Structure 1
Amino acid sequence: MVEHEKAWPEELRVSADRKTLSVRFTDGRAYGLEAELLRVRSPSAEVQGHSPEQRVTVGGKSEVTITKVLPVGNYAVRLTFDDGHDTGIFTWKFLSETGADKDARWAEYIAELADKGLSRTS
């Protein structure tokens, strides 16, 4: 296990405009994770399916916001978005990996949208 994977989040904060979740870990790493990226890459079965082939590319979420952050045990949070999506369990590991790989995940998402003729805005 990589040492930073043992880090615990010491702060989760939703921005005033509800479009960014800031996460700061005990090892000093901190990330600003856009609501859009979290929504379109939600770890829910609705988005991820039950296998990589079933993963859904979700477009039209550039203006999505986070309306609730609820703890799930001591390992995750459940985020609710203003479009009604609320089935993803965002583990500390998921948030850490998403923050560390954010640029690559954005690029992959933008490429998938283009391949499928979708847009961030509609």
Structure 2
Amino acid sequence: MAAPKELRVSKDRKLLTVTFAGHQPFELTAEFLRVVSPSAEVQGHSPEQRVTVPGKKDVEISKIEPVGNYAVRIIFDDRHDTGIFSWDYLHALGREKEERWNAYLTDLAAKGLSRG
């Protein structure tokens, strides 16, 4: 996947709009990006180790840093900064946003956790 044409953080720091050439822009909330972070802290080293991250409803994007020509590091205001979001991963998140978000909400409910 080629680099996006544009990455734009909203003024309130709660939304990242990602635009890839030939595609409609994807709007990804900071909360969504934080809870699906590709970091080992969230994803673990196997599917069994994946963590359901609660309480990120109000998280914001503090900063975005380029990582080579293939990704960005998104730094959140809760100090999470270890997720490297490749262009492929961001594109997949945009395409699968609803499915992944619903799976997250289901996991939260099953574990008795909340977004707030």
Q: TM-score, normalised by structure 2?
A: 0.97
Q: Deviations over 1:17-39 (max 9, x none)?
A: 00001000012331000000100
Instruction: Give SS of 1:9's match.
Output: coil
In the alignment, the residues of structure 2 paired with residue 119 and residue 60 of structure 1 have an alpha-carbon distance, to the nearest angstrom, of 6
Aligned position for 2:7 = 12
Q: Deviations over 1:65-90 (max 9, x none)?
A: 00000000000000000000000000
Q: Work out whether 1:39 is the aligned partner of 2:34.
A: yes
In the alignment, the residues of structure 1 paired with residue 52 and residue 11 of structure 2 have an alpha-carbon distance, to the nearest angstrom, of 27
Contact map agreement 2:4 2:19 (CA 8 A) in 1: yes
Unaligned runs of 5+ residues in structure 1 are 1-5
Moved over 2 A (4+): none
Q: Work out whether 1:58 is the aligned partner of 2:53.
A: yes
CA RMSD of aligned residues (A): 0.8
The percentage of counterpart residues that share the same residue type is: 62
In the alignment, the residues of structure 1 paired with residue 56 and residue 92 of structure 2 have an alpha-carbon distance, to the nearest angstrom, of 21
Aligned length: 116
Q: Work out whether 1:80 is the aligned partner of 2:70.
A: no
